[in-house]
Amino acid sequence: MGRRKKIVQECETLMDKPENIRNIAIAAHVDHGKTTLTDNLLAGAGMIADEGEATKLMMDTEEDEQERGITIDAANVSMTHEYEDTNHLINLIDTPGHVDFGGDVTRAMRAVDGALVVVDAVEGAMPQTETVLRQALREGVKPALFINKVDRLISELQEGPEEMQERLLSVIHDVNELIRGMTEDMDDVEDWTVSVEGGTVAFGSALYKWGVSMPSMQRTGMDFGDIMELERADKRQELHERTPLSNVVLDMVCEHFPNPVDAQPRRIPRIWRGDADSDLAEEMRVVNEDGEVVFMVTDISMDPHAGEIATGRVFSGTLEKGQELYVSGTAGKNRLQSVGLFMGGEREEVEHVPAGNIAAVTGLKDAIAGSTVSSVEMTPFESIEHISEPVITKS
């Protein structure tokens, strides 16, 4: 079976198993390595080709595009990853990097349950690190930390083991201080902090594609000493092969980020201001795929073939083609023309998308980023001004 077919088949099976889904974002201060890490994860999960295979993948894609009118959308990618003999569907949403897009970052965070925060080992936590952490915690999104560019500490700054350890611990300390400051109002502050022993911190080099965490050290038998030796000897390919970054990070995602069933009971009271005693609240908390439809739109994009695409999180119910749904802040209903999922970097139409997934749909002509779309009238996730929007985007 071709790679694409296999991905599609795996994603279609996994979308019906919320326990196996992880909805995540990667967030970072500019230049700390978000893009390089994302490419790594996609290549590691077999979603984009490694060097040498690029041409083949491109041809695959072109053929498919002609056949089915699909498009690559780098902002949303899904990948599958096998962890402890179980296949997982990992939906990765891009968060805009710039501070000015604060509102969009918050919205993207609303769709996910875990945020992988990337911090440059040389620069340490920076203002945007604080901003993205704040946005994640406000949305009840669990953080994990990836300390990037560790190769620079070893090869460029020539740090010894103690110096390096001190520096890495101070990055972790700073990040945890930020987290503690932001979670004072929660009863379970330590649940949100990150730790090496707890497996929620990984280190490595996105550029040279190697990584390490406490669990990975136990699995591969490679410790920091081995890593320093290989990095100093310029044996980066060997380092990558023996402890590949994508495995280290995707294992961490599967093990430590909550699936939708674990996340939604905690998150719904935090992100939705409606009646907590209502049936609808309960349906969202338990990720009821048979409940009323609740779909929070996080992004609208244009597809040259399909037109306007609304991407977002299905918190309850199941999206199906032909459904007539309310769009918050507007009168009347919109009819879903198609329902899709991201598989790899491409949107693929499917019959239905149940609660717990990130869906991409067409037909919601009145929806904008931030709209709550539902089968019953409800308190929206956010109230938005609709007044000028159609003039800007739809004329």
Beta-strand (E) ranges in the chain? 21-28, 76-83, 86-94, 114-120, 142-148, 201-205, 210-213, 294-303, 307-316, 318-320, 324-327, 333-335, 338-343, 346-349, 352-354, 358-362, 372-374
Nearer to ligand GDP, 245 or 253 (CB): 245
Residue 319: strand, helix, or coil: strand
DSSP 254-308: HHHSPPHHHHHHHHHHHH--S-TTSHHHHHHHTT-TTS--EEEEEEEEEETTTEE
Among 3, 152, 333, 365, binds ligand GDP (CB under 6 A): 152
Residue 329: strand, helix, or coil: coil
| Binding range to ligand GDP, per CB under 6 A, among 29-37, 56-64, 137-145, 250-258 | 29-37
Among 4, 22, 34, 81, binds ligand GDP (CB under 6 A): 34
CA angle (176 as vertex; 173, 178 as ends), nearest 5: 110
Nearer to ligand GDP, 205 or 374 (CB): 205
Nearer to ligand GDP, 148 or 193 (CB): 148
The answer to the question of residue 207 lying near ligand GDP (CB under 6 A) is yes
Nearer to ligand GDP, 156 or 191 (CB): 156
Among 19, 30, 275, 351, binds ligand GDP (CB under 6 A): 30
The answer to the question of residue 28 lying near ligand GDP (CB under 6 A) is yes
Residue 346 CA to residue 381 CA, distance in Å, equals 27
The answer to the question of residue 35 lying near ligand GDP (CB under 6 A) is yes
Among 61, 193, 205, 372, binds ligand GDP (CB under 6 A): 205
The answer to the question of residue 117 lying near ligand GDP (CB under 6 A) is no
Among 33, 312, 344, 363, binds ligand GDP (CB under 6 A): 33
- The answer to whether 41 and 25 have CB atoms below 8 angstroms apart is no
| Binding range to ligand GDP, per CB under 6 A, among 147-155, 185-193, 229-237, 285-293 | 147-155
The CB-of-247 to ligand GDP minimum distance in angstroms stands at 16
Beta-sheet pairing, 346-349 with 324-327: unpaired
Contacting residues toward ligand GDP, per CB under 6 A: 28, 30-36, 97, 148-149, 151-152, 205-207
